[in-house]
Structure 1
Amino acid sequence: MTAVLPPQVELPDPPGDPGVLAAARDDLAGAGFALGVAAAHLQGPAARAAEWLGADASAAALQTGTAAAVVQTLHDAVTSAVVAVDAHHDELVAARARLSVLRADQEADAADAQTRLAALVDPAAQVSSVVDPPGVAAVLDGFDAAEADRAAEHAALLGSVAEHAASTTAVLAGALAGVGGGGDHGGPTASAAVTLHLAVVLPGHGTSVLLDLGWEAARALTAPGTAAEVVAAADRYAPVLADPVVAAAAVVALGRSGLTQLLTQVGASGADGATDPLAGVLARTLGAAGAAGDRVPGAAPVLDGVLDPDDPSGDPDVVALGMGAVLAAPGAGADLAARWVRRLLHREAAQGSSSVDRTTGTGPDPVAVGPGVLTAAGRSDTAAGVLSDPPTWDALLGRTWPDGAADLVDLVELAGRSGAAAEDVVAAALTAAGADLLPGSARVLTVDPGTWAAVAPALTRVAVDHPAPLVAGLGSPGAPGSAALLSGAALLVSTEERRGLVATAVERAAAGTDTSAAVTGALVALEDHARWLAWLLPTVVARHDAAGRKADYDLLVTLPVLLVRGPWGQALQAGAGLLAPVLHADGSVARPAPAPVPTGPGGVAARLDTTPGAALEPAVLADALQAHDEVAAALALPVPLAPTPTVAPELALPDRTDGRPGRPVLPGHPGVGAPGPR
């Protein structure tokens, strides 16, 4: 038989604590009252500085008006919050009260049904009977129907409370947004956001509040936890870290060790910057920190000291990858890129290879990211500042670029639009390019041919628009640094097209001056040197490449064959010797063309004698010849030679301990004691 009541339906209270809501309502009401009093004072006589006159009175009135507006906004926000919380409190209390009634009815109905069932069923016959006595079904059906009604009403009550909670949350979020809280519904970051808002809008609220927020964010970012927890903390504090003072304070609080910790996490993740949330927050934070200026001293040394260029371990390379990801993220800005590109290049030059090559990371090449960020910013003065020193150019020109140096070319073009600062760019680039080509230098060709081929046309255009460094170098070849600059200029004009463009710009700049003839004579010597370099460099590089191919062939073929004894060994050795020329692995190169013959004094006279039938003044020619000889001496030009067949200069092997293995080494110039055209 089935004369047993089913389990009672669960009727739990909805989530929420009326006591907590009442306490929050009362606290908000107290705050609202205080704000109302403050608003009344700010609108009354106490808000007017009756004894102040002129600008002081105007400033006081402005600050009072600003404070009154802020207080009124806060009062309105708190008032709306009080109404919303109070309404939700009443909704929750009413639902809990109704559910108490339903539970009491449920207990009473259960007790009544048990009593009625006991009266209908004979316990002695209950064991043997298979049919419920009459009336039992009616009792059970009545109880089930009442339970169904209670369950439906319970569900409706919980749904109503949940709907009201959602609307209350929306009201509170709106009130919070009006005072700087954004979309956060509470917690420490919402409090920080409101504090930031008030610190910004309230007159005299103080930088100290912003500094405290920065330190709070730094503690959250470096607290012990997993990588996901660090990312979550960064996401929470991202809104307040957009403020320059808060961002700079966070950088100072992080210090070199804290910032290194975060950059290491980004670099180890292989992030590309565009999708990594931590890289994005760091980019916006470090970018904003630069705008703080002198208000937060100490941020710049942290940014500068985050990468150790001389540490031989791989740890700084992981940091460098993190720096690249941060630069690639939106918000990093030109100032951070300019600061970090120099540091990254310094480390690359010190270690002899890029950070990407020294690690197993999959992030972007940090150096390659910089020019694109700087170009996208469109600030020609910043671009020129980055490109205004020879060591930077030495590193830029001595590496290969994943994009074929396209971003670097754009950066050079941008720097060329910086006015007078572009002259420093021209001087630095030419000095770096020419330093390796001077007598007495290490003569290791550090300029990458592919990079130079990409950059030289853009650099030529900048030099044509800003020829002053070339004019100065040609006019004073003995001045410190002039020889390297002129040597780089010769490399720049080693093609006929670029030579014509630069010569026209230089002569136009010097036209009408007392030094115009001297500049022309010096220019002839520079062009002679450029033609000689155009002949020499391909020959040297060809010899270097041939020596490299022969070394590889000897290692892989010749030496193993020598280990084979007997007739088979002799046959293999003979075959290896015959195969080497076929594979261009015997170290030989094609006979070069004859070396160009310098035009010398005759070329100077011909360049000056541009007016048929006009006599060339001896003094003018003498000045031009003297300038020609000075440039020739500075660059150690070869003496005039007869146009006879020549062979390439002897090739010295590179010093493989200089960190740049495999670079071709240029021999000395002829006429200064080194092998040359003969």
Structure 2
Amino acid sequence: MTVEMPDPVPLDMPPGEPAAVDDLVRDVTGAAYWLAVLADQLSGPAASAPAWLGADAVAAATQLARVAAITRGSADAVRATAGRLSTHGALLRDTRREVTALREEQDEDFRVAWQRLGQSEDLRLAVLTGSSAWVGVVAELEAAESRRRRRHALVLEELADDAAATVRELADAGRLVGATGRTGDGGRVLAYLAAELPGWGHPELAGRGRALADAMMGESLTPEERAALASDSASLAGNPVFATALVRGLGEVGVGLLLQLLGQDPDGPDNPLAGVLASALGAATPGPSAHDGVAAVLGATYVRADERIGAAATAAGMAAVLLAGAGSAGLRPATAGEWARQLLVREHVQKMPAGTVPVAWPSEAADPVAVAVQFVARSGDPEAAAALLGDERVWEALLVRFWGDGGTALGDLVAEAGRESGPAGDRAVRLGLETIGAGLVEGDPADWTVDRDVVAAVSPALGDAVAAHVDLAANALGAVASDDGASDGVASDGVASGGGGGEASGDLLKGLGYLTVDRQAAAAVEGALSEWAGMQSHDLAGSSRAHPLPAVAVPAAYLAVQEYGQRLNHALDGFELQEEAENKERLWNWTAGWVLEVVSYVPVKPVAVAADVLGAYGPLFLDMDGTFEQLPDRGLRHDADMAGANALAALPPDLTARADAVRAQAEASYRRTAGWLGDPVAPTSPEKDWVGATLDLLTGGMADMGIDELRDRAEREGAHGRFGGLLPGRR
């Protein structure tokens, strides 16, 4: 066997130059010295402002004390850092010296090995035959190389550990002034010092914010350059002073332009610009002026309902900023709500999605509206959620659109708005009920302005919201349950009117009725109304069937509303079945029916007859004749007797003597409400017309075929044959 000399083990030098570390140590030591000198001076007479008086003197003294404390702490930290760097520099020098020694030792061992090999009488024969002398030389060299590899690895590992410890100590030293040991510490230190020393820091930060705004608007900037500018300022964007100056500098036009650029950027939410905008728009502080630049930017309309060009990119940019600011340093919920409103109103007007995003963006950014709604829903700000839902156009857009999450975000938004206890919460809940009531009507589903599946998804949350604003429902129910309310109309806030607001109240109660199809929502509202009724007066004095006691009338009216919802649900099912049947009939008429009609005119009689038969009976057998079958209404049933029984069950013991009067009022309230709402009726399917199809076939194609047969026979027998007089038009 042959024996080969091993290759030398690589003995790389560690990175870094001891001389460079020595220079750094001298610089750091000098900085520590001057910091210590400054700290001593600030602790002496310079620590006061003798010529200043009052609040200015206090502020100046405070600033000087903070500077002294920061300087003193920095001097100690920098001094310790210099010592640590010096230790690391010494170890680096020792390590390089040891590696150099290992290299020299390696060279010497290989020189000796080749020298011993050269002493063989026949070198080539020793290598080819693997003589014992040659094998021994190689074995000794390999053992030495193995030892050197281990020693080299150990010294480099020791140096690496020391370097990591030095980095940690440097990072710890920087924490004194807000550093973290990560990229971007320059901005963090500036922000920290600006907060500690506002007299110097505020003008500095404001100047940098304005400078960034000017730089961002540079026409010659590439997307990469703009992203780099944003990245450099990311740690400052959340500072109110910097953010205010940046937002005012950008203005409405600048922010709109950046949103549009972001909406076309392949990085989208991951672009540092998105994070800077999110932080700045959230941290910027509006001023007291009515024309304040920050307020103008936060309340500006960036996506107009009638705008087509550019709006989609701006909508995508909004989604990028919202996703980048989904953490604690993002937009204000009110700003996100205003953006969501703009997107939804545009969808409502344009009848199309508000915007599309680049395909490279993450899937959660695909729907800008869903991103905005989810942001507001998760913000924990009921006021912002209620403000968003205080626009009827928003409700219509929300309840008719497709939701990729099945409506979960919308339900969360409604639940958040329901927690707003003031008038804004009342308005949001009322508009939700009115939108459902007006959008789901008996008739062609094409006329419905809301989607039943979306309503079903949001019903539990909306039911809880109605329960939280139970006065809204109770007032509307109580008004319609009395003679005055049922005859004159009920205003949209649920109080009796002179007939002017009846339509709005009708939509509210009809929407409430359909809402109760969801039994979870129905139970929530029922529980709240029961509690409300229990807190009302039960004194029957002055009440009557025409003017029932609210504690009696409202639960009875709610029962009638639930009855309406059950019947409406069945009726809407029927109209959907009717539409499906009509669509299938239309499909037949414009496809197979039309083809068979054409084929029935071909001169080949068997083919024409077959086409007539298929055309007559095909739609009947395939259920494409416009007929449909709806199962019986198996929804819950409520009636006046149940209303009376419920009223008696809730009657306090001391009023059992007036049970008949209470029952009568409850039953009257139920009937009055039911009559006012009406009784939804499902459409009736036409019957399958087998007889009509047969008659059409016999009087149509079959009859024509018989006449043609008679004419052919007459022509064969002559015009005056026995069939001549039977031909049409013959005399």
TM-score (norm 1): 0.65
Secondary structure of the equivalent of 2:466?
helix
Query: Cα 1:436–1:405, aligned 2, differ >3 Å: closer, same or farther?
Result: closer
Q: Distance in 1 between matches of 2:234 and 2:635?
A: 64
The 5 Å alignment of 1:223-234 reads: 223=218, 224-234=220-230
Match for residue 266 of structure 1?
262
2:307 and 2:590 map into 1 onto residues whose CA distance is 30
Q: 1:340 to 1:312 in 2, by over 3 A?
A: closer
Alignment partner for residue 271 of structure 2, among 252, 277, 302? 277
Structure 2: distance between partners of 1:264 and 1:441? 40
CA deviations on 1:389-438 (whole Å, 9 max, x unpaired) are 44333222111211111232334444445556765543332122123357
Quick one: which amino acid aligns to residue 373 of structure 1?
F
1:45 maps to which residue?
45
Structure 2 residue aligned with 1:516: 551
- Give CA-to-partner distance per residue, 1:30-60, whole Å, 9 cap, x none: x999977765553233534679999987666
Deviations 1:52-75 (A, max 9, x none): 999987666433312322454677
Give the match for residue 505 of structure 1. 528
Match of 1:586 in 2: 625
Amino acid at match of 1:507: S
- 1:150 corresponds to which residue? none
Deviations 1:555-602 (A, max 9, x none): 444445555551557745653554434554433222564799997766
Q: How does 1:110-189 map to 2 (within 5 A)?
A: 179=177
Q: Alpha carbons of 1:328 and 1:607: their partners in 2 closer, same or farther (altered >3 Å)?
A: same
What secondary structure does 2:507 align onto? helix
Task: Report what 1:62 is aligned to.
Answer: 62
Query: What is the aligned partner in structure 2 of residue 211 from structure 1?
Result: 206
In the alignment, the residues of structure 2 paired with residue 194 and residue 252 of structure 1 have an alpha-carbon distance, to the nearest angstrom, of 24
Alpha carbons of 1:647 and 1:199: their partners in 2 closer, same or farther (altered >3 Å)?
Answer: closer
Q: Is the 8 A contact 2:517 2:565 kept in 1?
A: yes
Match of 2:479 in 1: 476
Instruction: Output the CA distance in 2 between the equivalents of 1:366 and 1:596.
Output: 38
Task: Answer yes or no: is the 8 Å Cα contact 1:272–1:364 preserved in 2.
Answer: no
Offset at 1:646? Answer: 7.5
Query: Within 1, Cα distance between the matches of 2:76 and 2:587?
Result: 81
Number of aligned residue pairs: 549
**Correspondence for 1:410:** 412
Out of 311, 316, 320, which is 1:321 matched to? 316
Q: 1:554 to 1:43 in 2, by over 3 A?
A: farther
Assess, with a 3 A threshold, how the Cα gap between structure 1 residues 310 and 425 changes in structure 2: closer, same or farther: closer
Compared CA separation, residues 290 and 596, structure 1 to 2 (3 A): closer
Please tell me whether the aligned partners of residues 594 and 646 of structure 1 are also in contact (alpha carbons under 8 angstroms). Answer: no
Q: Pick from 268, 284, 294: which aligns with 1:292? A: 284
Structure 1 stretch displaced more, 220-229 or 598-607: 598-607
CA shift in 2, pair 1:225/1:79, >3 Å? farther
Is the Cα–Cα contact under 8 Å of residues 525 and 632 in structure 1 kept in the other structure?
no
Quote how far apart the aligned CAs of 1:516 are: 0.8
| Residues 1:249 and 2:224 aligned together | no
Work out whether 1:235 is the aligned partner of 2:203.
Answer: no
CA distance in 1, matches of 2:65, 2:612: 97
Amino acid at match of 1:291: A
How do 1:541-560 and structure 2 match up within 5 A? 541-559=576-594
C-alpha separation between the residues in 2 aligned to 1:608 and 1:83? Answer: 87
Matches within 5 A, 1:522-541: 522-541=557-576
Distance in 1 between residues matched to 2:614 and 2:339, nearest whole Å: 55
Task: Tell me if the contact between 1:592 and 1:646 (Cα under 8 Å) persists in the aligned partners.
Answer: no
CA-to-aligned-CA distance 1:176-221 (integer Å, 9 cap, x gap): 8765676689xxx887665544332214236443222222223344
Unmatched segments (≥5 aa) in structure 2: 1-15, 87-159, 481-489, 493-503, 538-548, 687-731
AA of the residue aligned to 1:516: A
Deviation at residue 448 of structure 1 after TM alignment: 1.3
1:302 aligned to which of 297, 311, 325:
297
More deviation in 388-397 or 550-559? Answer: 550-559
Corresponding residue of 1:457? 460
Q: Which residue does the alignment assign to 1:665?
A: none
Contact 2:641 2:667 in 1 (8 A): no
1:49–1:287 Cα change, 3 Å? closer
- The aligned counterpart of 1:401 is 403
Report Cα offsets for 1:227-253 as digits up to 9, x if no partner: 333323322221122323323432332
* Structure 2: distance between partners of 1:195 and 1:629: 72
1:373 is displaced (CA, Å) by 3.0
Per-residue CA shift, 1:454-489, capped at 9, x if unaligned?
221232234345422211221234123433221210
- How far does residue 266 in structure 1 lie from its aligned partner after superposition? 3.3
Structure 1 residue identity aligned to 2:223: A
Shift of 1:451: 1.4
CA distance in 2, matches of 1:192, 1:597: 65
Q: More deviation in 554-563 or 530-539?
A: 554-563
Contact kept? 1:338, 1:374, Cα under 8 Å = yes
Relative to 1, partners in 2 of residues 1:359 and 1:627: Cα closer, same or farther, differing over 3 Å?
farther
- When structure 1 is superposed on structure 2, of 215-224 and 42-51 the one drifting more is 42-51
Equivalent-residue separation in structure 2 for 1:503 and 1:298 (angstroms): 48
**Gapped regions of structure 1 (runs ≥ 5):** 1-14, 87-162, 640-644, 651-678
Matched ranges for 1:80-99 at <5 A:
none
Conserved in 2, the CA contact under 8 Å of 1:391 and 1:432?
Answer: no
Amino acid at match of 1:399: R
Counterpart residue number, 1:485? 508
CA drift of 1:497 comes to 6.2
Q: Give the fraction of aligned pairs with identical amino acids, expressed as a percent.
A: 29
Q: Is the 8 A contact 2:170 2:181 kept in 1?
A: no
Give the Å deviation of 1:510. Answer: 1.7
In structure 2, relative to structure 1, the CA distance for the partners of 1:263 and 1:201 (3 Å cut) is: same
2:672 equivalent in structure 1: 629
Counterpart in the other structure of 1:355: 354
CA–CA separation in structure 1 for the residues paired with 2:351 and 2:563 = 34
Among residues 428, 432, 443, which one is paired with 2:431 in the alignment?
428
C-alpha change, 1:600 and 1:404, in structure 2 (3 Å) is: closer
> For residues 190 and 284 of structure 1, what CA distance do their matches in structure 2 show?
16
Counterpart CA distance in 1 for 2:280 and 2:671 is 53
Alpha-carbon distance in structure 1 between the residues aligned to 2:169 and 2:520: 71
Q: 1:318 touches 1:355 (CA, 8 Å); kept in 2?
A: no
The alpha-carbon distance between structure 1 residues 249 and 482, as it changes in their structure 2 partners (threshold 3 A), is: farther
Query: What code does the residue aligned with 2:672 have?
Result: D
| CA deviation map 1:651-678 (0-9, x unaligned) | xxxxxxxxxxxxxxxxxxxxxxxxxxxx
